[in-house]
Each structure stands twice: as C-alpha cells, then as structure tokens.
Chains A and B, each alone.
Chain A
C-alpha cells in the first residue's frame, strides 16, 4: 500500500508570468543573448544558401542541451530578425517531439497536438529541456495557451476546448508535462530568404558526433502582422 500525495499545481499567476516571459524572449530572441553552445557568425541579412561552418569548440555537457552548428545566427526578413536557431529548435519540437509530420497549415494540425504544444511552452521555452521525471500536473487557461500558439503560428481560429486536455468540469486545461527531455544535435544547412519568407533547412542527428542522421526538416517562417510565424514544415 502506498500513500499518494497531490503534487503542486501551478497558479494562474505563474502561468501568466511564464507566458509573458516566453513571449518576450521569443519576440526579441534575435537580439538577446546567444547560446554558448552555438558558434555565432555575422548577420547575413537577405542571405541565400548561406555557407555553413562546423562548430569545433563545442563539448557535451550535463543536462539537456541543444548542440547546433552551421548557420545559427539570425537572418533578416524585411528588416525583421529571424532567429535561425530558435526555429531549428521549433522544427525539432514539432517534427520529433510531437510527431506532426509535414504540414502546410498549422491550424489543420490536431487540436490535441496544438493544445499540448502551446501548453508545454507555457512552462518551457524549449521543450527539450523538460525534465524526464517530471511529476507536475499543470493547469492553464485557454487564453494563455492561445497566446503561446499565436506567438509561434500567428492567429488561428481554434476551439481548444475540444482538446482532450480540457477539463470541462473545472473549466481549465490540465496536462502532465510530456517526457520530452533530450539533447538536440543539429546543423542548420541553409536559410533560404526570399521576399516574404525564409526557409530554414536543418539536419538533426542522434549523437554529439553528428554522424548518425535522425532526420531533416525544412521550416517556412513568414511575417504575419510584422512578426515571424511558422507557416509550413516539411519533414524528411
């Protein structure tokens, strides 16, 4: 026989604070600090098929980290800086942590998947950082999840309350944080900047040496109301 205990439920206040923080971080990602694990280059605005260079200074460290090389510094789209490495991570999250497969319209993704994606990002900016042994049953409101989805995909007409994660009785969303924790090994092969979109092509690997390929993604990022959002993803 075991006694059970209820784990901590995060408060709305904290959720809101986290959401706001995440929004700020993402919006200004390109002009904030740099990932010490990723070698940076000069900005290559309006670049096309940018040359890549391997990062020779990285070393694998404890915890869950993203180890990227190639083109990892921002590009510009109509003057707006696009954080290549952030979208490389988003590509990994969608393709491998959530299994979206390829999509051309994010609003057509399963409602459960979108809700879980937005919900998880309320708690972690990078989903690969979620600890493995997480025991937290989280709560959130629809507006908070929508805000997060708007940041990544732009405004979408979604009825998140159709999600399995919605607790109709208590009128709130609930989620056991997914077991996403992992290291991410990637190389940004190219960023194809055209008139109103940028395609970020990333190869992911299974290990630090980057000899065993996990898969490849091409993410299309567009400007929507002046902000970059994910509009397409091609996996494979």
Chain B
C-alpha cells in the first residue's frame, strides 16, 4: 500500500512538473526531460535518464549503503552539468557494485560551481564513473563508462574497493576524463588509480583479459589543481617522496592512468597543477603494474603514452612502499613494474615537471624490472623533452631519464653535453638536498632538491648561465688575493679585508657527506653531514669515510639519530662508532683550508681537498669518496631482501610492520647503500626475511668503470 502510494505520488509529481520523479521511500528524483533543476538535502537518490540537464547540487547528502545502487545515476545518453553549491556528500554501497555518481556509457557529465563535492564509490566502483565486476572478462562483455568533465568546484573523490577515484571501476576500461579547472583530490582504492581506471587484472588469458588489455582511456588535464593517488591515506606533502603514499601495500596502480594490470594509452596534461602518486609498482603518471608472467601479459596491448605540455606544472611520483618493499618499481612518468615497454613520453611547451621515482625505476621511462615477454630490460619507445621545459627528474637508483629509450630527444642545454644528461653516474648519492652542486661545462652550480630521503638519485636540471654578480665576485676575490701577495693591487678595499683575514689562523670547516655516511678524523672524531669543525688554516688533516649503522639505537632501545637527520623520515640515518656501529673505509683523504679565497680543488690522484677560506665546505658526496652498492636478485626481487652486518640488519625485533620497525630493523628489498672504499661488508640475502645466503664483499672502485660511483651486486638467488 505504501509502495503504491509512493508510486502514485511520484506519478503526480511527474505530471505536475512534467520532468521530475520523486520516489517517496528514498526521496528519489528522476529527471527525464531537458532543463535546469535543483536538488537539495531532501534528495536520497537522483537519476538523470536521457535528459540534457543542468542540476544544481546544494548540500545534498546521499548514501546507498545497504541499498545496492549508485545514489546518483546518469544514464541513457544523458548530458548533465552538475553545479556544485555548498557541501555535498554522496556515498555508494560498499557491499554491492555501485558508484557514488554513476555515469553510464553514452552519457556525459560535467561538474561546475564553487562548492564542495565529497563522493565515495561503492564496491568495485569509482567515486565518479562506473562500477565493475568481480570477474575478469573479455572486452565486449565489460561494463562501460561515460565521459566526465570537471570545469570548477572542489571535488574529493574516494574510490570504492578496486575502483578509481574518477573514471572506471573494477574490470572496466576508462573512457574520457577531462579536467579544465577546479580543485580535485582523487584517490583509488585497492589497485585502482586515482584518475583513470580501477583494478584491471593481475593476469588473465592473452586476447581475453590479460595485463595491458584494460586501459585507462583518454585523460586530459587542461587546468585546475589535480591531486591523484592510489590510496586515500595519501597526503600530498611531497617532502617525504621516498615513502609518500605508500601506506597501502595493495596499491599497484598509477596515480593518474592505469590500475593494476592496466594500460594508459592516452594521457594529455596541457595545463594546471598536477600531483600524481603511484605506488607499489604503478607509475606516478602512466600505466599500472604489470606481471612477471609472459602468458598473462599482452605486449601488443600494454601502453603508456603520456604527453605533457603548455604551462602544466606536474609532479609525478612513483612511491615505494613503507610496508611492502617488494612491490616498488614503477616509473614516475611511464610504465609500471612488470611491463615490456616504457611507452611514449613527450614533455614540451613551457611545462614544469618534477618526476621522482623513489624506486629502482627511472623517473621518466620504463620500469627496469625484467620484461615478462622476453626477460630483457624494458625501455621506453620514445622520450621527447622540449627546449623550454623545466624538468627536474630524480630516481632512487636509476637514470633520471630512461637513457635506453629507442628514441630520445632532449635539448642539449641540459648540462650542455649529452654525457651529462643523466646526472647520477658521477654523483650517485647526494645527501644534502638543499645544497646540491653539479658540474656543467660552465662551472659548478648549486641547486636545491625538493626531497630529503632519496638515497641514490639522479637528476636533470635546466642549465642556467652564471650571473654576472657571481663572476664579478670571483674576479674580485681572485684579484685581491693576488694583490695581497704581491703587495700591490687596484682593488684596495678588498686588499684590506684580505689583510685582516690573513691574521685569522682558524676557520670553520663545513662537512657534507653522502647519505648515511660520516667522516672520521685522525683523532677519532666523527662528523656527519651538516656538522662544522674548527680547523687551522693551511694545515692538512687526514680523514677517512665511514658508513653509519642504520639501525642505531641507544642503550634504552630508543632510536639514536644524528641531529642532522632528525627531520628525516627515512631509515637511512644513524651513527658511526668505533664500537661496532657502521663501517670504516681505508682510503686516506686529506683536507686543507687555503689562505686564499679562490683556491678550491680536489685532486683525485692525491685524494686531497683544498678549500677556500671563507667557503670551506668539505664535500665528500661528489668526489668518488664512496661506492653506492645496489643489491638485486637474479631470479627476481619479489619477497627477497638484503641486509649488511653493522649497517642495515635484522636487530631481532619482531617484524610488526610498524613504521618504526621498517625504519630501523629490517633488511631491505632494493637495498642501495653508500659504502666506504676498502671496507669489507658481510651482505646477507633473505627470502621473506629468512636468511638464504651471505657474502663477504670488498668495497672498491669498479675497475672496468672507474668513473662510476655505483655498483650492482646480484645475488644468485
């Protein structure tokens, strides 16, 4: 009777307003004819069926929890513009396949307005887009999704299980998402991308539903602020890049692009500010994680095609995982781990791009996990970086840009010569990101890196000409010093200063070390990056390099971190002590502060640093004073870890997967560690933290590549 009454009432409303149906039991409204409508807090369900409508959403609060449908449904080739006013909450059914706002194939949805929309998908569903199925199925049987455009408004889109934030659901191809404005936070869940498609597949039959056969569709960003990640736990405080967004160990998706096992065939970013974070093998922007199985991977289908241009300001991050190291390895822009290609990447216009891979993949290009197709190391098909691009690329343990790309085009002004494109070979481990000195054909340059916790990295920075001011200063100082020595000189003002300075016999020496390293002087004193020590001008001091014990704790079991590193969230900091914490090298280095302002050199043959008075900074991070060792496993890195006695090792604590536990008590997958030359390490291999082997390794310069400051050690396992 009640139902009959409701239907009758609905019919009456339909008749009275011609276009709107309201279902009494859930305050449902159905729009079937073109026009402009307003929906408020009283609305429990909204359907736009075949209409071309403008719908004002004002402080709506809809949930379909337990009801088994999407609270908002746009269907039957409808064209809808939602104008967002106030604060709106829309939530799908977490137990049944549904979305927050379901956009059926053939329908188009646009968001505008100045309000806020918080929307959450239901099971297997996107927050905005489609839901999917729990079955891996051929393309012709899959659910399809309509197109989605955002012009303005603040949208916070939280995927349901295995869905994307904005785009497609589980086992569904994306269609077209366009963002022209607004402020959007989009979060995937359980292998779904932030924007793109949900969980594709971990591997079905080729030609039916294999890895690569799901696709995120076309994603275009022309403006606005877009923050996309694979988990709602992500924050976008990009200070901690290495572990950012890595709380969810099940996220194998891209921030923008493919979910787990899904391609990204067409991503275009032409403007706006974009921050995208993929994790656990997914790219920051690009494709999702692939597979290691040839039978589950369709090499003809897996794509990662990304174009960035205009005035886009893009930060793309491939995060490692705090709690699940084994699944890291996606590129920041490009392909996910377990793929055969890095795809086609084009960065042009005046784009400003920060690409950071906190994994062992390049920042831009192909993930370097072995190809599932033929076991080769994947490479990008093409990478183009235009002349006016401001590119900053960082990788934890790979080239910044995939140097093996079949086609690689980067303007020569990046360091002026081709062999400097991939900074990192000569300075594989830089500790002080606030004061990074790189060499270019026109002299040394200092840059500020945006991260603190990447241990080994490489970069590309647009080269800038030295300013006239700095040249003048150098000439002035040089002239003064010479004039002082000769008893004459035109620049009398500076001569006077020099005379005064010459009376000073002591000066402060600043110390810079590679990450997780220290220097030890002959009196046994140990200094870390950021320390200063008072030394006598003109006197030679001998020192040696040490690496610290990452697991350092004091007698009370509390972490013991050098003050310089207290701000870090990375595990890679501790202390060195002669009492058995860390390791010492055997090479004797010498440092001397000159009495001149312009005398700065490092003589590799004598291992002697001569530093200018007034700017005495001992940089041991860029002068082959160490060797970065990377450990990999022959049969694949899955579930395998490496530890080093006295450096990074199992301290016997229970592995509780807490952050503290990760920081200080675990051997690591993809261990990359800076080591002092001449030391002998006892490296230990683990499988699921069970010891499977060990090796004593003498740390030395690579005789075949003496200019290289990193070495790869491959376990036989």
The answer to the question of B12 belonging to the interface, with a C-beta cut-off of 8 Å to chain A, is: no
- The answer to whether B578 and A176 touch across the interface, beta carbons within 8 angstroms, is no
- The answer to whether A7 and B523 touch across the interface, beta carbons within 8 angstroms, is yes
Chain B, residues 670-694, CB within 8 Å of chain A (1/0): the string is 0000000111110000000000000
- The answer to whether B680 and A176 touch across the interface, beta carbons within 8 angstroms, is no
- The answer to whether A7 and B698 touch across the interface, beta carbons within 8 angstroms, is no
In Å, the complex CA distance between A1 and B508 comes to 8
- Chain A residues with CB under 8 Å of B677's CB are 112, 164
> Which stretch in A55-63, A65-73, A130-138 binds the other chain?
A130-138
- The answer to whether B525 and A164 touch across the interface, beta carbons within 8 angstroms, is no
* Contact of A112 with B698 at beta-carbon distance under 8 Å, contacts A2-B523, A99-B680, A135-B522 already known: yes
Query: Of residues 97 to 146 in A, which have CB atoms within 8 Å of B's CB atoms?
Result: 97-101, 110-113, 116, 132-133, 135, 137
* Contact of A112 with B700 at beta-carbon distance under 8 Å, contacts A2-B523, A132-B578, A178-B680 already known: yes
What residue of chain B has the Cβ atom nearest to residue A3's Cβ?
A: B534
What residue of chain A has the Cβ atom nearest to residue B606's Cβ?
A: A169
* Contact of A116 with B534 at beta-carbon distance under 8 Å, contacts A99-B697, A164-B700 already known: no
- The answer to whether A7 and B522 touch across the interface, beta carbons within 8 angstroms, is yes
Q: Which of B523, B578, B583 is A4 in contact with, Cβ under 8 Å?
A: B523
* Contact of A95 with B588 at beta-carbon distance under 8 Å, contacts A132-B578, A169-B608 already known: no
- Chain B residues with CB under 8 Å of A96's CB are 680, 696
- Chain B residues with CB under 8 Å of A113's CB are 698, 700
- The answer to whether A175 and B524 touch across the interface, beta carbons within 8 angstroms, is no
- Chain B residues with CB under 8 Å of A5's CB are 522-523
- Chain B residues with CB under 8 Å of A135's CB are 522-524
The answer to the question of A177 belonging to the interface, with a C-beta cut-off of 8 Å to chain B, is: yes
The answer to the question of A225 belonging to the interface, with a C-beta cut-off of 8 Å to chain B, is: no
Query: Of residues 563 to 619 in B, which have CB atoms within 8 Å of A's CB atoms?
Result: 578, 580, 583-588, 603, 605-608
* Contact of A95 with B696 at beta-carbon distance under 8 Å, contacts A4-B523, A135-B524 already known: yes
Considering residues B542, B603, B678, B679, which has the most beta carbons from chain A within 10 angstroms of its beta carbon? Answer: B678
- The answer to whether A4 and B678 touch across the interface, beta carbons within 8 angstroms, is no
- The answer to whether B522 and A168 touch across the interface, beta carbons within 8 angstroms, is no
In Å, the complex CA distance between A112 and B624 comes to 14
The answer to the question of A179 belonging to the interface, with a C-beta cut-off of 8 Å to chain B, is: yes
- The answer to whether A1 and B533 touch across the interface, beta carbons within 8 angstroms, is yes
- The answer to whether B680 and A4 touch across the interface, beta carbons within 8 angstroms, is no
Write the nearest CB–CB distance from A216 to chain B, whole angstroms: 13
In Å, the complex CA distance between A3 and B665 comes to 35
Range class of the B interface residue count: 35 or more
Considering residues B535, B608, B680, which has the most beta carbons from chain A within 10 angstroms of its beta carbon? Answer: B680
In Å, the complex CA distance between A68 and B532 comes to 47
Chain A, residues 81-101, CB within 8 Å of chain B (1/0): the string is 000000000000001111111
In Å, the complex CA distance between A169 and B695 comes to 35
In Å, the complex CA distance between A9 and B595 comes to 25
- The answer to whether A170 and B588 touch across the interface, beta carbons within 8 angstroms, is no
Q: Which of A4, A133, A164, A168 is B541 in contact with, Cβ under 8 Å?
A: A4
In Å, the complex CA distance between A95 and B680 comes to 10
- The answer to whether B695 and A99 touch across the interface, beta carbons within 8 angstroms, is yes
The answer to the question of A174 belonging to the interface, with a C-beta cut-off of 8 Å to chain B, is: yes
Query: Of residues 1 to 57 in A, which have CB atoms within 8 Å of B's CB atoms?
Result: 1-7
The answer to the question of A194 belonging to the interface, with a C-beta cut-off of 8 Å to chain B, is: no
- The answer to whether B522 and A164 touch across the interface, beta carbons within 8 angstroms, is no
- The answer to whether B603 and A169 touch across the interface, beta carbons within 8 angstroms, is yes
Write the nearest CB–CB distance from B4 to chain A, whole angstroms: 83
- The answer to whether B607 and A167 touch across the interface, beta carbons within 8 angstroms, is yes
- The answer to whether B542 and A111 touch across the interface, beta carbons within 8 angstroms, is no
Q: Which of A3, A98, A132, A176 is B588 in contact with, Cβ under 8 Å?
A: A176
- Chain A residues with CB under 8 Å of B698's CB are 98-100, 110, 112-113
Considering residues A110, A132, A164, which has the most beta carbons from chain B within 10 angstroms of its beta carbon? Answer: A164
The answer to the question of A165 belonging to the interface, with a C-beta cut-off of 8 Å to chain B, is: yes
- Chain A residues with CB under 8 Å of B696's CB are 95-99, 101
- Chain B residues with CB under 8 Å of A178's CB are 584, 586, 678-680
Write the nearest CB–CB distance from B635 to chain A, whole angstroms: 19
Chain A, residues 144-155, CB within 8 Å of chain B (1/0): the string is 000000000000
* Contact of A1 with B606 at beta-carbon distance under 8 Å, contacts A95-B696, A133-B524, A137-B522 already known: no
* Contact of A1 with B532 at beta-carbon distance under 8 Å, contacts A165-B587, A169-B605, A176-B585 already known: yes
* Contact of A177 with B586 at beta-carbon distance under 8 Å, contacts A6-B522, A6-B542, A137-B522 already known: yes
The answer to the question of B703 belonging to the interface, with a C-beta cut-off of 8 Å to chain A, is: yes
* Contact of A1 with B603 at beta-carbon distance under 8 Å, contacts A6-B541, A112-B677, A178-B586 already known: no
The answer to the question of B173 belonging to the interface, with a C-beta cut-off of 8 Å to chain A, is: no
In Å, the complex CA distance between A225 and B696 comes to 32
- The answer to whether A165 and B678 touch across the interface, beta carbons within 8 angstroms, is yes
The answer to the question of B463 belonging to the interface, with a C-beta cut-off of 8 Å to chain A, is: no
The answer to the question of B642 belonging to the interface, with a C-beta cut-off of 8 Å to chain A, is: no
In Å, the complex CA distance between A170 and B589 comes to 12
- The answer to whether A164 and B534 touch across the interface, beta carbons within 8 angstroms, is no
- Chain B residues with CB under 8 Å of A174's CB are 542, 587-588, 607
The answer to the question of B701 belonging to the interface, with a C-beta cut-off of 8 Å to chain A, is: yes
In Å, the complex CA distance between A164 and B36 comes to 79
The answer to the question of B544 belonging to the interface, with a C-beta cut-off of 8 Å to chain A, is: yes
- Chain A residues with CB under 8 Å of B607's CB are 167, 174
- Chain B residues with CB under 8 Å of A99's CB are 680-681, 695-698
- Chain B residues with CB under 8 Å of A95's CB are 696
- The answer to whether A110 and B525 touch across the interface, beta carbons within 8 angstroms, is no
In Å, the complex CA distance between A174 and B588 comes to 6
What residue of chain B has the Cβ atom nearest to residue A133's Cβ?
A: B578
* Contact of A110 with B606 at beta-carbon distance under 8 Å, contacts A116-B678, A164-B587, A165-B586 already known: no
- The answer to whether A176 and B586 touch across the interface, beta carbons within 8 angstroms, is yes
- The answer to whether A116 and B521 touch across the interface, beta carbons within 8 angstroms, is no
- Chain B residues with CB under 8 Å of A176's CB are 544, 584-588, 678
- Chain A residues with CB under 8 Å of B703's CB are 110-111
What residue of chain A has the Cβ atom nearest to residue B591's Cβ?
A: A4
Write the nearest CB–CB distance from A101 to chain B, whole angstroms: 7
- Chain B residues with CB under 8 Å of A175's CB are 586-588, 678
- Chain B residues with CB under 8 Å of A4's CB are 521-523, 525, 533, 535, 541
In Å, the complex CA distance between A133 and B534 comes to 23
Query: Of residues 638 to 656 in B, which have CB atoms within 8 Å of A's CB atoms?
Result: none
- Chain A residues with CB under 8 Å of B678's CB are 112, 116, 164-165, 175-176, 178
- Chain B residues with CB under 8 Å of A101's CB are 695-696
In Å, the complex CA distance between A168 and B524 comes to 26
In Å, the complex CA distance between A135 and B526 comes to 12
What residue of chain A has the Cβ atom nearest to residue B680's Cβ?
A: A99
3 cross-chain pairs, A with B, having the tightest CB-CB distances, nearest first: A169-B606, A99-B696, A168-B605
Instruction: Add 5 more A-B contacts to A99-B698, A169-B608, A177-B586 (CB < 8 A).
Output: A5-B522, A5-B523, A96-B680, A100-B698, A176-B586
Q: Which residues of B approach A to under 8 Å, CB–CB?
A: 508, 521-525, 532-535, 540-542, 544, 578, 580, 583-588, 603, 605-608, 677-681, 695-698, 700-701, 703
Show 9 A/B contacts (Cβ-Cβ < 8 Å), sorted by A: A96-B680, A99-B695, A116-B586, A164-B677, A167-B605, A168-B605, A176-B544, A178-B584, A179-B584
